[in-house]
Structure 1
Amino acid sequence: MRKQFGMPEGEKLVNYYSCSFWKGRVPRQGWLYLTVNHLCFYSFLLGKEVSLVVQWVDITRLEKSATLLFPESIRVDTRDQELHFSMFLNIGETFKLMEQLANLALRQLLDRDDFLEDEAPPRPVRPHRNTSALKRDLDARAKNECYRATFRLPRDERLDGHTGCTLWTPFNKLHIFGQMFISNNYICFASKEEDACHLIIPLREVTIVEKADSSSVLPSPLSISTKSKMTFLFANLQDRDFLVQRISDFLQKTPSKQMGCVIKGRRASIAEPGAESPLAPEMVTELPASPDSPPGGHPGFGAQEAPTSSQGLLKLFQGNSPVEDLGAKGARERMKEESWNIHFLEYGRGVCMYRTAQTRELVLRGIPESLRGELWLLLSGAWNEMVTHPGYYARLVEESKGRYSLATEEIERDLHRSMPEHPAFQNELGIAALRRVLTAYAFRNPTIGYCQAMNIVTSVLLLYGSEEEAFWLLVALCERMLPDYYNTRVVGALVDQGIFEELTRDLLPQLSEKMQDLGVISSISLSWFLTLFLSVMPFESAVVVVDCFFYEGIKVILQVALAVLDANTEQLLGCSDEGEAMTVLGRYLDHVVNKQSVSPPIPHLHALLTSGDEPPTEVDIFDLLKVSYEKFSSLRAEDIEQMRFRQRLKVIQSLEDTAKRSVVRAIPVDIGFSAEELEDLYTVFKAKPLASQYWGGSSSAASRRDPSLPYLEQYRIGASQFRELFASLTPWACGSHTPVLAGRVFRLLDQNRDSLINFKEFVMGMSGMYHGDLTEKLKLLYKLHLPPALSPEEAESALEAAHYFTEGSSSEETSPQERREGSRNEDAREKGGEEKGTSPPDYRHYLRMWAKEKEAQGETIKDLPRMNQEQFIELCKTLYNMFGEDALEQELYHAIATVASLLLRIGEVGKKFSARAGRKPQDGVPEQDRPPTPEAQPAAAPELLPPATGDLQAQGGGDTHLGRAPQDSQAVVDGGSGEGQGSPPQLLSDDDTKDDVSVSSYSVVSVGSLPCEDLPDDTVLVGGEARSPTRSGGSVDADWCISFEQVLASVLTESVLVNFFEKRVDIGLKIKDHKKVERQVSTSSDYEPPGASG
């Protein structure tokens, strides 16, 4: 498989299936290969070969359909093609695996951090993983996600196995059929009949696991007892002995002490049937009746303990006033409390209670305020995380004190906007508690940090729970119940907004078209979903929706939203614009009331600002919930997850397209590329860091993508990836010399010296090669052969024959080039120091970067440093290789030979004006490593510019024209390394010179060592090493140097060179060829298909 599709060793095959690919109206029978990162298809039929490779991250639509043209097929859409596959042996299994792989790939495009480790694609831990093992990993991942979502368990919980069984339910005296699930910390049960019974038993609560006597009525029973003195009886277990052993193994690994609950140094024992319980009653500690009253193990805040560390703000500001004083509302509140107490007696209380349809009915009737915090913790699963991480929140608060980041600034800005109408947040006590919770979460999850709307939700959580409880409820919301909602791009909210639009089309078809025309859904749904209606409804009504949300999840939010639209159908159909429709919905939600609330009414800020003369009729929140369940109860959690996957494809690809357009707009208009070309360049550029994310590379994927940076700088590539792009996109193809030139371009573009370049730097380099004028292109080539683009190793390799460096003096004055290099090094050190810190850089860091970017460069051709002899040799070598594939190859070779010999003599003449005579260099410091100092640089005399170059050419004799020889001419090349000064020159033909592209294939011939008058008429001066007759062969002429103005003037004397550099090249064709190679799409007639291999 890797050989067939050109995949690296890191790409793993998951599975392959026989199917047909529809190419036009003709099906091509072949094999569909599903790898971790690619969908591949291969077919070889009747001499025709079809090979196809599609990245999962490029897929915009994936669905299973059955039409007349494509019966029972799978449709795969990308941005530029539509693919259909059919004739599967098991289309359901294939489509499910494709969904998993596409979903995992899309996670790479989200702003996810490493601590959400289960979202990363599976990586083999052994070098040789077979296909079935990798597929088992994916199946296990899918089961884990479903298991955690069903029972609201922590993200690190791993399902060990499940088995069919029955559970004895004492509240109705029945044996209920269902599935038992075992994981490393929990035993869970789910009935086959939905809502019949759900059960969660943490192993930290288990005291006894006992095998009871079997009977015909109760075969293979298993009894589990907990600290809260509840006993659960399971039966009809297939392999009871093995199950008991697994539970025993997990119990041994369970900490014996959690939040003050101790089993006195003993683990729970496994009792045989009929044996006495090994634990005495006094050894069992009962679970606290209410998690709202935490045990003494809860962390405090030191000596000066904040009141909010132990109770909610509502209790602090309302006190414990008896409900008897509230009349009918108080009586109804007492009835709710009594109903819940009865429920606790029958079904249990705490984490281990039976969760049935009766529980849901009580939640829909409203949770009493005295129990709201406790039930939110239990229903959301936050209680499990809180008791298994004692002291975690207190440590976060302590560590985040005095720390400053962009998130803390945003938090401070929004603190006083959090429920300003509530008295709890009109003083410093509530504000300080809110600040601590939001800051602690920002430091727990720096990828999210802080997002708008988190302050509103957290302020409500603080009303009904302590700071630590509010923190863990926020964790449950952001990381499990509302995945990807609270990040910089609110992807999760946009996904559910797409689901809402889809449901509106299906369930409210008469209203859907009107809402789309008005554009209302996209405007209203984000505020509804992000704040759980807390920002659009009166507070006492919205908390009832939050009650249902913690029990039902996102399903109830969608139901309520549909019910609101349904209730306002007639008015919305009569609206003429978006503003009118928004007003209708806003006024309706402002008057959704909770007539049963015992809290003092809090005026809704939005209602006060939009109150009119004729307020709409008040709607009771419980009536709205009842209607939502009656009309839209057909929604199921499984269906919502399927719709989330479909919408996630659209949303993420839409966001990527938006990011691409933003990047294109941010590129300067004078860059030369069109918008379409920039978009194509961004696509191929972004593919490289994504590939390294799943195939690995020299630097981590996190260093290649930084979501905190602007879109323009998020994706970054390393040197090896740049060489691949450069080889396929550059107009300066240099054959085998191309990787060397690519390395120099990369070092030139990498201004901050972090071994990575972003898209802007990449485009600037490409623009110089494609759209610069002659001067700009030559200037770029010139700089590519100076430090830092030219590394010292490359410069030394240009003169392998040199045995020593001549001595000369160096100036103590720092040159402008050194000052620029020092400044860049300081920037790199500053950036490196910031990257080593634990906190993300604040906004001032980005302001400094922006200011530096806006500074005028002011670099002119006169600012460029002079080029020494070694650097000139490398420049000649690059030019020599650059012309190898051109149609005017011979003319270009002759022209560059003429220019090279001319520049050699200019450098020799320039030595006469140098003030370096008699000065010696520092010991051990090569001359070429020191930039020329002002007093050491030769003067640019007027006679060395174009008028004088003609005179210099004339000195060679009337019949001698350097570089303009016939096809069969020969080149004079210095012997270099192995020969002394007296060695005769070696004569090479043009063909020999072309074939040899190594550094030693030519060298610069000095005017002093071989006068031009002595050359025959058919001789071509290819170039070589400039030296005076007094120096030994192969050594460096320390005084020889040229300036960029001299290079430019010399090139302008050759029209063929001018035409070459002014020739326009279409980058679109090169991008198209690059994409074709990347996709590996080919068609041939003489290729035998290889066997499937991993």
Structure 2
Amino acid sequence: MSFFESLRDKAVTTISLLIERKDSDGVSPDELFCRQHRLPLGEKVLNQSAVEVGYLADSTKAAYRTNSYPQGKVYLTPHFLVFQDIYDGRSCLFVLHLSAIKKVERLPASSYGFALGIHTHSHINVKLYLVGLRSESELFSSQLMGALQSNKPQAKNMAFFVQTCYSEYLLAKNHVPSAETVNQVPASGLGLTFGYPGNLRELRDRSKMKLWFDLFRADGRNLSLIKTPTFAKLVRVGLPNRLRGEIWELNCGSMYMRIDHKDEYEKLLTDNENKHSIAVEEISKDLYRSLPEYAAYQDPEGIERLRRVLVAYSWKNPDIGYCQAMNIVTAALLIYMSEEQAFWCLNTLCDRIIPGYYSKTMYGTLLDQRVFESLVEQTMPVLWNHITKHDIQLSVISLPWFLCLYLTSMPLIFAFRILDVFFMEGPTTLFRVALAILKINGEELIKTTDDGTFIQILKKYFTSLDQRSEPSSTNPKNAQRTKFMDLFLVAFREFSVITDEMVEKHRTKHRNTVFGNISQFVKRTELRNLPRIANLSNDDVSSIYDRFYSIVRQQITVSGGSSFMEFELFTIFMSQICDFIDPEPTDDNTFQKQERFLKRLFEHWCSEDSSKLSLKDLVIGLNKLIEPDLLTSISNFFALYCENGKVDREGILTISEDLLFITLPWEMGKLHDALTATAIENAIADKICEQQEAVGVSNQDPIPIPSNIDIDKEKIESMQIERYLSAASTFIQRAFEYAQPHEEDVLISDLPVDHKLSHNAALNPRLPVFLNLPTFRMVILADETYELLFSSTIRGSIHIDTPTDGFDPMRNLRDMFDGLLADGREVAKKVRRRMDSAAHPGQLSSDNSSLKSRKSSKSHIEDDDDRDDDFSAIDIDESEKDFLFAAEVQALADPVSSKTDDSRHLRQFHDIRTDTQHSSKKANDNLIDFD
């Protein structure tokens, strides 16, 4: 027994590996299996077994048909039982939906050892003779029972579903005992009301219906149809009008979607009633352009059906919404299908059969045009050489054939015959017919030298498809044969070598080239539609575009560049281009501060939905973030926090915390700013001057730059750390010193006369205060470090042009020294000036001061219309310090020591915030209390 158990475990492991394994295109075996048998994506093969099959209809007296497809494999998925011929992988004897199975029983032992009897709702009895070890057969039987048990809730839809199938109604109307009771004609297409294209007598519609009636009695119908070679023959000779819609949805697999998603179509329409979108507007424009030659689409009933189906699909798949030619295809479906049938058939077409045909970029159609050209070159080299020699654009001519499925190229009755085979055999039908059209007209086409004549020949051919190809032939069969029959014969006999594998091989060959061309086109189009910005070059915007879509991880060719970035992806984006954003912060405190700042930035940049950021929003936001103008840069930062042009007490503390977070890489010495770079250059220059003086080098001699200079790196690094921490402390002190109280809280008439009034009521921790833009600018410009932060430091730490395939880590401050030595031009200039200054003591060195004061910036503030002129009148003496925050006075009044501990300052800052919040809470009880 353990031997069989080990075999079972090994089989299960092997199946699991096969299920999880992906091919080179990233498609799993389960996905390929679903595509091959038209199953809904998501079905997984639970088990498979070698079998021999026999079946019998209750309405016939014949023996079990064991000679049709005697050997093959049966596959079990959660919702289907599929048999596939072992000799011809493209043939499939049956695809049984588990809802259509009424009973499964174990048959008496035979020479096979294990057999199952399956009874379907259409009264077809199928025998499965399982070949293999009994333990494997037992496992298959057990899993089949489990799948049937799980499918019980879904089986309840079966009674409703059969009422919508005309095949069931056809048998019930003719009193076939095995048929379900269907009392009324199922909902059908517009053809039932407005008539079907073509002459029913010439199309032999009644004779075809009789053939299908016999097939349904013998081989089942809809969800339990046994597909035999007769089924394929009847499809190729043309489907009867009343059955065309049902056979279409059975062959393409949309019938399975319809039973599994009962009422979803109506729910989509109800939930989105009266909603507007771009897709809905485009649909309204194209409704009357949909097969205008058919009477139903000149009538409100037909237009309304078409509108409902297209609108429902636009809400079902908003990424595609609505695209050109979808109205043509849907209009054709609605002639033979109900609205719900057409809706699910359209879903299957767009998602699985011809993906990418109906998208904003039509990448699927363009790819198949390249495949078609390759097939023409391969099968008709003489015609292809003629086409290339005269520069005839074949893809322009054939594009409507593929995109509209020949519905706009030839009379509808012939286009529908092509669709009959297309839904059964897939996209290869389009290629075979197109190649046959060129081959039949090859002799005339090879005489043309321009596109116009080429197109006229083909148009004339399409209008003559109903004519006899050999009217004077003495053979009666040839005399009755039409040009369309010849087209079918050439397409499905001479070009039967065009298989799915061949088409997919050519697609793989040209996919990257076509996708690359489309991506570049989409990129140019979207970049052209972006607003003009001043601070980003065209290369910068291009880099932003590439990074945006590489992070969103969505094919641009599918969506046409209409994706949005959510906050998590925005964090990744910013961490890749900003030195002050850590991609993986290890400290919880840092992580919270970073997330809070980025969330504020994200929501401020979003123009419409606060949860999604478009490419346009991102470009505009980054343009503001790297603003080179000092005052504008300060204003952009202040706008992140202000409401109605003011920032309250809590906002001031938030700004100071965010400034601490942004400057953290400089506070920790990981990055250097312009002041530090100048200090390093001065230190190196001083060292070189000392060496030059020691060896007695003349001022006129060239100055060699050594490969290594020993300077006090720790001291320079410490100076930068102290400077940034001091700037943070000074900012919060000055922000509250110069903040203004709200006017309603400082009226003199409300104050007791026996109390002394402070010059600045904002110093009272119990009064609400605010900071406006002019004040914020003044506080920033009062500190050299923060002034430099907004003028150049932040902008220099953002690297938009960093390649998307690799990101350099943040450089440590010490890594910068070697770079300065390698490029010693600036250092050499400083050394020369020092040596000249030593030779002329009266000349002042320009390197004694780090940076000059920005008089132009201050003049801008003085000219600002919003400037508060009372700032110059504020005079704070020692007695007024009683009104300052006690914790702020103690923590911030003392100068920063030479060796400042970063963590100590952060703790002080946290204490200040806590005291301020406590003071603000207390102020709510008594706003004016000077005791």
Residue of 783, 786, 793 corresponding to 2:635: 783
Secondary structure at 1:499's aligned position in 2?
helix
Residue of 243, 249, 264 corresponding to 1:371: 243
For the Cα contact (< 8 Å) 2:265–2:312, is it kept in 1?
yes
**1:618-637 to 2 correspondence within 5 Å?**
620-637=483-500
**1:145-184 to 2 correspondence within 5 Å?**
145-168=31-54, 170-171=64-65, 173=67, 176-184=70-78
For the Cα contact (< 8 Å) 1:727–1:739, is it kept in 2?
no
Larger radius of gyration: 2
Paired residue type of 1:145? E
Residue of 404, 410, 414 corresponding to 2:282: 410
Q: Distance in 2 between matches of 1:375 and 1:334?
A: 16
Residue of 613, 621, 639 corresponding to 2:502: 639
For the Cα contact (< 8 Å) 2:93–2:227, is it kept in 1?
yes
1:215 counterpart = 2:101: no
Secondary structure at 1:592's aligned position in 2?
coil
CA-to-partner distance for each residue in 1:506-525, whole Å, 9 max, x for gaps? Answer: 21222234445635232133
Paired residue type of 1:221? A
Q: What is the match of residue 896 of structure 1?
A: 851
For the Cα contact (< 8 Å) 1:686–1:715, is it kept in 2?
no
Q: What is the match of residue 449 of structure 1?
A: 321
Quote how far apart the aligned CAs of 1:722 are: 1.6
Q: Distance in 1 between matches of 2:15 and 2:155?
A: 39
Q: What is the match of residue 391 of structure 1?
A: 263
Residue of 729, 732, 741 corresponding to 1:799: 729
CA-to-partner distance for each residue in 1:85-109, whole Å, 9 max, x for gaps? Answer: xxxxxxxxxxxxxxxxxxxxxxxxx
Q: What is the match of residue 780 of structure 2?
A: 871
Quote how far apart the aligned CAs of 1:796 are: 3.5
Residue of 460, 463, 468 corresponding to 1:587: 460
Quote how far apart the aligned CAs of 1:563 are: 0.8
TM-score by length of 1: 0.54
1:206 counterpart = 2:161: no
Paired residue type of 2:465? V
Quote how far apart the aligned CAs of 1:165 are: 1.6
Secondary structure at 2:70's aligned position in 1?
strand
Quote how far apart the aligned CAs of 1:247 are: 0.8
Residue of 135, 138, 151 corresponding to 1:241: 138
Quote how far apart the aligned CAs of 1:223 are: 1.7
CA-to-partner distance for each residue in 1:664-711, whole Å, 9 max, x for gaps? Answer: 434567747665554345334433333xx8xxxxxxx9xxx9998966
Q: Distance in 2 between matches of 1:452 and 1:902?
A: 55
Q: What is the match of residue 254 of structure 1?
A: 151
Q: Distance in 1 between matches of 2:869 and 2:207?
A: 107
Q: Distance in 2 between matches of 1:706 and 1:139?
A: 23
Q: Distance in 1 between matches of 2:276 and 2:884?
A: 48
Q: Distance in 2 between matches of 1:260 and 1:670?
A: 58
Distance 1:256 1:865, change over 3 A: closer
Q: Distance in 1 between matches of 2:904 and 2:851?
A: 17
Residue of 281, 298, 311 corresponding to 2:188: 311
Paired residue type of 1:722? M
1:143 counterpart = 2:21: no
Matched pairs, number? 686
For the Cα contact (< 8 Å) 2:400–2:408, is it kept in 1?
yes
**1:76-87 to 2 correspondence within 5 Å?**
none
For the Cα contact (< 8 Å) 1:167–1:233, is it kept in 2?
yes
Distance 1:311 1:548, change over 3 A: same
Residue of 715, 722, 727 corresponding to 2:579: 727
For the Cα contact (< 8 Å) 2:624–2:633, is it kept in 1?
no
Q: What is the match of residue 229 of structure 1?
A: 123
For the Cα contact (< 8 Å) 1:364–1:622, is it kept in 2?
no
For the Cα contact (< 8 Å) 1:593–1:618, is it kept in 2?
no
CA-to-partner distance for each residue in 1:878-931, whole Å, 9 max, x for gaps? Answer: 627949868579968924375599979x99xx9986587699xxxxxx999xxx
Secondary structure at 2:849's aligned position in 1?
helix
Distance 1:893 1:903, change over 3 A: farther
Q: What is the match of residue 951 of structure 1?
A: none
Q: Distance in 2 between matches of 1:400 and 1:594?
A: 48
Secondary structure at 1:179's aligned position in 2?
strand
Quote how far apart the aligned CAs of 1:739 are: 8.8
Range 348-357 or range 429-438, more displaced: 348-357
For the Cα contact (< 8 Å) 1:437–1:471, is it kept in 2?
yes
CA-to-partner distance for each residue in 1:577-612, whole Å, 9 max, x for gaps? Answer: 32332232233223323889xxxxxxxxxxxxxxxx
**Ranges in structure 1 where 5+ consecutive residues have no aligned partner:** 1-129, 264-284, 297-306, 597-616, 694-700, 730-735, 814-862, 920-925, 929-974, 1004-1094
Q: What is the match of residue 462 of structure 1?
A: 334
1:192 counterpart = 2:86: yes
For the Cα contact (< 8 Å) 2:121–2:224, is it kept in 1?
no
Range 877-886 or range 867-876, more displaced: 877-886
Provide the identity percentage.
25
Distance 1:224 1:675, change over 3 A: same
Q: What is the match of residue 559 of structure 1?
A: 432
Distance 1:259 1:295, change over 3 A: farther
For the Cα contact (< 8 Å) 1:386–1:469, is it kept in 2?
yes
More helix by share: 2
Distance 1:371 1:286, change over 3 A: closer
Secondary structure at 1:474's aligned position in 2?
helix
Quote how far apart the aligned CAs of 1:544 are: 0.4
Distance 1:386 1:580, change over 3 A: same
CA-to-partner distance for each residue in 1:721-742, whole Å, 9 max, x for gaps? Answer: 224313399xxxxxx9x99999
Secondary structure at 2:84's aligned position in 1?
strand
Q: What is the match of residue 520 of structure 2?
A: 657
Secondary structure at 1:167's aligned position in 2?
strand
Distance 1:901 1:632, change over 3 A: closer
Higher relative contact order (CA 8 A, sep 6+): 1
Q: What is the match of residue 211 of structure 2?
A: 339
1:543 counterpart = 2:437: no
Quote how far apart the aligned CAs of 1:807 are: 7.6
Secondary structure at 1:290's aligned position in 2?
helix
Q: Distance in 2 between matches of 1:151 and 1:720?
A: 41
For the Cα contact (< 8 Å) 2:197–2:413, is it kept in 1?
no
Distance 1:287 1:475, change over 3 A: closer
Distance 1:249 1:769, change over 3 A: closer
More strand by share: 1
Q: Distance in 2 between matches of 1:594 and 1:715?
A: 60
Q: Distance in 2 between matches of 1:483 and 1:446?
A: 15
Quote how far apart the aligned CAs of 1:536 are: 0.7
For the Cα contact (< 8 Å) 1:222–1:234, is it kept in 2?
yes
CA-to-partner distance for each residue in 1:864-883, whole Å, 9 max, x for gaps? Answer: 74535543466624627949
For the Cα contact (< 8 Å) 1:722–1:742, is it kept in 2?
no
